[in-house]
């Protein structure tokens, strides 16, 4: 065989391999193009239009974005508020008036939601994983138990929570009532029985958000815990033994060996939780309908309202991209900051 | 707590179990409340909210939810959709994973990076255009809309790629010398070896399809085509005052995934743990 012929069979084999490769990739790449990449580009286009789904979209360029984000300055309203006797700072509310008030509320709620869930889920999940990472009996049982909320339908669990936290006679208030009765009985005090509107009391809007955060953290802990557990089990035993032999305490092992080795995992959990929580929808939809007075409205819930209840598809698309930008910015910042505390292998 | 069990003194061990049980109660209580309340009468519910049992076991709640509310139908619909999504996702991601793991073709790495990038992009960004696509295909209110758009999965493709990369090359070369085509190699040799990955992906797909809510809410309006989560929202709306009905519905919605989890705990946990470690 001449060199030329050999080269041509080699290149035809390579071409054949490439062709086969594309063929195997075809089912998934079709899905990717039609149901992901295509919609992604379309979404960007829609966000630049006014569109009610029935008539063709009208291009308005960045108007949707500016409508959502715009803050109106009202110096006149500010001075009149001052004149009415409001304080220098408390009158700021009338100086800066958001064009779309609910957008800013939803944004604030979503950020608080994310921060709250991350604070309530990651540290407890790590603690649980650390405790479960022993060879004692029953650890698999507890791991399975803690993981149950992860597999359970969020909608179903939200319905259960609705009644566990119900204002009149729900389980949580009932148990609190038992404690109060006990205290009253022992001390002879007359503390009234608590009737706490955990979810829907208009006088305590922040409490409603907090209750939703607790539920979401509750179902996130098992997920985070399993990831931490896998990371802890991957910590080389020889390192720990060596430190143990050198007389290191449990505490030093944890601080000097275990935690540095799992920092990449902590980072991963942080990012995935963040992406997850910034998209929360089912909990407010089922439990509060975004209320009381928009106290629990999230960005996705607002998007759903705008898009599928008021059919402002262009505006809703813009909201989606703003949320994505938020996730993107936070993740990028996290990546930058991560070099300071994540230990590379 | 890393160390050997014999090193853990009794008191410490007692504290550990006490704490773990306490956390367990918090994790399990909503489920306990759900199941026990689903078997009470409505009057008993608030008369004794903490009691595990009412005056009698009211199985009629389940009968009512399955027939009157039509939850049985919704469950069948969801099983159908979930099984299709499961099979479809395994098929596409196995094929794709094999292509990424074993073939050289122009643009492979760029495509792979694009796939991974999709994990970062929230679903709501493509929600509206996908809805528009469904309108164009005339798939609104049809099962296709719950199945076909979800057959592409980046994480599944990633999972199989990683798994296939771990299979020794010799195995494949021997088969090629024997004259086996790539397709036969994938389904005859790789697929049986990849059963653990298949099981892992199956759990992920099933959970995803069974529990999804916002997409069915948007795309399915005909009650006959409802999925379980929609049925639940429906009970909540229609039988607002009947807590045992709502709890019976929730139990029915949670039972299949919890049962699947109890049977295949290893694979559920493995999927999460491995993607976490490699992520």
3 state DSSP class of A18: helix
- CA dist B186 → A315, B136, B180, B199 (Å): 46, 35, 10, 17
pLDDT tens digits for range A34-85: 999 999 999 999 999 999 988 999 999 999 999 999 998 888 888 888 888 8
Q: Which residues pair with A97 in a beta bridge?
A: A72
Q: Looking at beta carbons, which residues of chain B come within 8 Å of A20?
A: 103, 182
Test B37 with A175 for CB contact under 8 angstroms: no
Test A307 with B127 for CB contact under 8 angstroms: yes
Q: Which of A109, A112, A68 is nearest to A317 (CA)?
A: A68
Instruction: Yes or no: say if B201 and B93 are a contact pair by the CB < 8 Å rule.
Output: yes
Residue A295 counted as domain residue: yes
CA–CA dist A67, A103 (Å, integer): 10
Q: Which domain holds residue B114?
A: 71-228+253-278
Number of domains making up chain B = 1
pLDDT value, residue B5: 45
Minimal Cβ distance to A28: which of B95, B121, B214: B95
pLDDT tens digits for range B144-163: 999 999 999 999 999 999 99
Residue B40 counted as domain residue: no
Number of domains making up chain A = 1
Backbone phi and psi for residue A72, each to the nearest 5 degrees, phi listed first: -95, 135
Q: Note if the bond before B180 is cis, omega within 30 degrees.
A: no
CATH number, domain of A156, equals 1.10.3720.10
Q: Read off the pLDDT of each residue in B21-42 and give the average, rounded to a whole number.
A: 95
Residue A39 counted as domain residue: no
Q: Read off the pLDDT of each residue in B89-118 and give the average, rounded to a whole number.
A: 94
Tokens 């902590």 found at? A266
Instruction: Yes or no: say if A209 and A109 are a contact pair by the CB < 8 Å rule.
Output: yes
3 state DSSP class of A72: strand
pLDDT value, residue B177: 87
3 state DSSP class of A55: coil
pLDDT value, residue B102: 93
HSE of A254 in the Cβ direction (CA atoms, 13 Å)? Answer: 12
Q: Does A269 touch chain B (CB under 8 A)?
A: yes
Q: Looking at beta carbons, which residues of chain B come within 8 Å of A37?
A: 114
Mean pLDDT by 10 residues, chain A (345 residues): 69 90 95 96 96 93 94 86 81 85 95 95 96 89 95 96 90 92 90 90 93 96 94 87 83 87 90 90 94 93 95 96 90 86 75
As given in the structure block, the two tokens for residue B9 are 């003194």
Residue A262 counted as domain residue: yes
Q: Which domain holds residue A332?
A: 101-341
Mean pLDDT score of chain B: 90
Test B34 with A128 for CB contact under 8 angstroms: no
Contacts of B62 (CB under 8 A, 6+ apart): B38, B248, B251, B252
Q: Are strands A49-50 and A58-59 parallel, antiparallel or unpaired?
A: antiparallel
pLDDT band at B47 (very low <50, low <70, confident <90, very high): confident
| Most A-contacting residue of B38, B124, B130, B279 (CB-CB within 10 A), to test interface | B124
Tokens 């698999």 found at? A140
As given in the structure block, the two tokens for residue B195 are 């059963």
CA A43 to chain centre: 22
Residue B65 counted as domain residue: no
pLDDT value, residue B276: 55
Other Cβ atoms less than 10 A from the Cβ of B259: the count is 11
CA–CA dist A179, A164 (Å, integer): 17
As given in the structure block, the two tokens for residue B153 are 């999965």
Backbone phi and psi for residue A203, each to the nearest 5 degrees, phi listed first: -80, -15
Test B125 with A152 for CB contact under 8 angstroms: no
Tell whether ipTM is more than 0.90: yes
- The residue of chain B nearest to residue A16, with distances taken between CA atoms, is B105
pLDDT value, residue B7: 67
Residue A71 counted as domain residue: no
* Residue, of B255 and B51, whose pLDDT is higher: B255
pLDDT value, residue A184: 92
Residue B48 counted as domain residue: no
Q: Looking at beta carbons, which residues of chain A come within 8 Å of B46?
A: 168-169
Q: Does A222 touch chain B (CB under 8 A)?
A: yes
pLDDT value, residue B278: 47
CA–CA dist A117, B123 (Å, integer): 20
Minimal Cβ distance to B20: which of A142, A231, A304: A142
CA–CA dist A301, B253 (Å, integer): 23
Test A40 with B121 for CB contact under 8 angstroms: yes
What is the pTM (predicted TM-score) of this model?
Answer: 0.91
Other Cβ atoms less than 10 A from the Cβ of B168: the count is 8
Residue A302 counted as domain residue: yes
Minimal Cβ distance to B122: which of A157, A168, A324: A324
pLDDT at B269 over 90: no
CA–CA dist B196, B273 (Å, integer): 14
CATH number, domain of B100, equals 1.10.3720.10
pLDDT at B279 over 70: no
* Contacts of the segment A284-289: beta carbons below 8 A, 24+ positions apart: A284/A212, A285/B213, A285/B233, A286/A155, A286/A158, A286/A159, A286/A162, A286/B233, A286/B236, A287/A158, A287/A161, A287/A162, A287/A199, A287/A211, A287/A212, A287/A215, A288/A199, A288/A200, A288/A208, A288/A212
Instruction: Yes or no: say if B70 and B252 are a contact pair by the CB < 8 Å rule.
Output: no
- The residue of chain A nearest to residue B92, with distances taken between CA atoms, is A28
Q: Helices A259-277 and A205-233: crossing angle, nearest 10°?
A: 140
Residue A93 counted as domain residue: no
- Residue B87, exposed/middle/buried by CB under 10 A (0-12, 13-18, 19+)? middle
CA B106 to chain centre: 34
How many degrees, rounded to 5, is the angle at CA A307 between CA A304 and CA A313?
Answer: 145
Q: Does A62 touch chain B (CB under 8 A)?
A: no
Q: Looking at beta carbons, which residues of chain A come within 8 Å of B121?
A: 40, 324
């Amino acid at each position: 065989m001449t060199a030329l012929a050999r080269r041509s069979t080699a290149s035809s084999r390579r071409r054949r391999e490439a062709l086969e490769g594309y063929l195997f990739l075809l089912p998934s790449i079709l899905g990717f193009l039609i149901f992901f990449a295509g919609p992604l580009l379309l979404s960007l286009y829609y966000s630049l239009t006014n569109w009610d789904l029935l008539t063709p979209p009208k291009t308005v360029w960045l108007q949707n974005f500016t409508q959502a984000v715009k803050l109106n300055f009202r110096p006149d309203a500010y001075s009149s508020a001052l004149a009415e006797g409001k304080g220098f700072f408390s009158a700021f509310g009338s100086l800066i008036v958001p064009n779309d008030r609910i957008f800013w509320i939803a944004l604030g709620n979503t950020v608080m939601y994310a921060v709250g869930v991350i604070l309530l889920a990651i540290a407890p999940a790590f603690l649980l994983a650390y405790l479960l990472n022993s060879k004692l009996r029953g650890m698999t049982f507890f791991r399975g138990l803690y993981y149950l909320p992860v597999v359970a339908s969020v909608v179903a669990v939200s319905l259960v929570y609705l009644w566990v936290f119900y204002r009149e006679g729900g389980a949580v208030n009932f148990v609190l009532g038992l404690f109060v009765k006990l205290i009253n009985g022992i001390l002879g005090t007359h503390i009234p029985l608590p009737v706490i509107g955990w979810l829907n009391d208009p006088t305590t809007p922040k409490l409603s958000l907090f209750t939703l955060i607790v539920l979401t953290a509750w179902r996130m802990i098992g997920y985070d815990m399993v990831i931490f557990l896998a990371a802890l089990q991957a910590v080389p035993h020889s390192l720990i033994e060596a430190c143990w032999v050198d007389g290191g305490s449990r505490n030093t092992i944890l601080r000097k060996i275990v935690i540095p080795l799992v920092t990449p995992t902590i980072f991963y959990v942080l990012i995935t939780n963040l992406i997850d929580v910034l998209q929360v929808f089912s909990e407010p939809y089922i439990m509060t309908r975004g209320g009381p007075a928009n106290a629990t409205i999230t960005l996705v819930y607002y998007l759903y309202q705008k898009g599928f209840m008021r059919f402002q598809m262009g505006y809703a698309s813009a909201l989606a991209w703003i949320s994505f930008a938020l996730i993107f910015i936070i993740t990028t910042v996290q990546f930058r900051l991560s070099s300071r505390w994540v230990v590379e292998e | 707590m890393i160390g050997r069990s014999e090193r853990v003194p009794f008191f410490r061990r007692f504290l550990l179990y006490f704490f773990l049980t306490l956390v367990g109660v918090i994790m399990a209580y909503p489920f306990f409340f759900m199941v026990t309340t689903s078997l009470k009468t409505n009057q008993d519910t608030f008369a004794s909210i903490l009691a595990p049992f009412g005056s009698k076991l009211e199985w009629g709640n389940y009968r009512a939810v399955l027939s009157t509310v039509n939850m049985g139908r919704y469950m069948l619909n969801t099983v159908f959709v979930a099984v299709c999504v499961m099979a479809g996702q395994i098929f596409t991601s196995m094929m794709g994973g094999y292509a990424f793991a074993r073939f050289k073709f122009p643009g492979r790495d760029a495509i792979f990076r694009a796939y991974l990038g999709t994990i970062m992009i929230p679903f709501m960004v493509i929600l509206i255009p996908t809805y528009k696509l469904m309108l164009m295909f005339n798939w609104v209110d049809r099962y296709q809309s719950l199945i076909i758009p979800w057959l592409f999965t980046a994480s599944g493709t990633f999972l199989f790629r990683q798994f296939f990369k771990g299979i020794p090359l010799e195995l494949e070369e021997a088969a090629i010398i024997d004259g086996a085509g790539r397709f036969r190699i994938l389904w005859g040799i790789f697929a049986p070896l990849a059963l653990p990955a298949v099981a892992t992906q199956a759990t992920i797909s099933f959970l995803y399809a069974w529990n999804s809510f916002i997409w069915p809410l948007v795309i399915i309006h005909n009650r006959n085509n409802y999925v379980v989560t929609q049925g639940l929202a429906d009970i909540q709306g229609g039988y607002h005052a009947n807590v045992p009905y709502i709890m019976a519905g929730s139990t029915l919605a949670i039972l299949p995934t919890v049962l699947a989890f109890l049977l295949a705990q290893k694979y559920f946990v493995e999927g999460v743990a491995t993607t976490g470690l490699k992520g």
